[in-house]
């Protein structure tokens, strides 16, 4: 199964999660500035919430995806106030006709005085477990 990991991260929180996921699935985490040119069975795509929405770089990356080359996307991210996974990326992917995995991963990300030290080791362990669960689902 061909797997890729992409992320957009301003202060490194989502990057840490992306790297934990990449390590768990045996690939490399790359920024969304690196486009997906080869066909992939599964793309883990990470981003965070900024003033209630995802960054324009992440939107542009999603827009650049070729639905013929990307079978399924699993989204992940960090946020400080929002306690459930943000759905904006998933909605944009679905609108492009790209399948979105049944579940998404989200953990706290440090912001100002909130959530200092997050994502922490436990968050990263949970992210790795999420990635393995998604892969197992794809193989079913
Ligand atoms: C400018 C800015 C705006 C933010 N707005 C929100 C928000 O609306 N909701 C939220 O839950 N977190 C918000 N956050 C917190 C970030 O989502 C959180 O710190 C996240 O972990 C940042 O990830 P990154 O380091 O990968 O960019 C904001 C952070 C910044 C810097």
- Per-domain residue ranges of the chain: 3-139
Q: pTM of the entire structure?
A: 0.98
Residue pair 53/23 in contact (Cβ under 8 Å)? The answer is no
Cβ–ligand 1 distance for 9 under 6 Å, the answer yes
Q: Report the residue among 6, 12, 80, 84 best suited for mutation to probe ligand 1: largest number of ligand atoms under 8 A from its CB.
A: 80
**DSSP result, 96-125:** TT-EE-S--EEEE--BTTBSTT-S-HHHHH
Percentage of the chain modeled with pLDDT above 70: 100
What is the chain's length? 140
CATH superfamily of 3-139: Flavodoxin domain (3.40.50.360)
Give the C-alpha separation, 68 to 5, whole Å. 18
Cβ–ligand 1 distance for 64 under 6 Å, the answer no
| pLDDT > 90? residue 140 | no
Residue 138 confidence (pLDDT): 87
Residue pair 72/104 in contact (Cβ under 8 Å)? The answer is no
């Amino acid at each position: 199964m061909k797997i890729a990991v992409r992320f957009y991260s301003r202060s490194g929180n989502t990057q840490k999660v992306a790297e934990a996921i990449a390590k768990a699935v045996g690939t490399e985490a790359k920024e969304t500035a690196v486009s997906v040119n080869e066909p992939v069975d599964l793309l883990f795509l990470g981003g965070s919430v900024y003033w209630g929405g995802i960054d324009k770089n992440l939107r542009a990356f999603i827009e650049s995806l070729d639905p013929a080359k990307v079978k399924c996307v699993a989204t992940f991210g960090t946020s400080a106030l929002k306690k459930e996974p943000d759905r904006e990326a998933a909605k944009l992917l679905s609108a492009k006709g790209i399948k979105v995995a049944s579940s998404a991963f989200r953990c706290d990300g440090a912001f100002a005085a909130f959530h200092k030290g997050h994502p922490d080791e436990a968050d990263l362990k949970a992210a790795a477990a999420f990635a393995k669960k998604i892969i197992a689902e794809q193989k079913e």
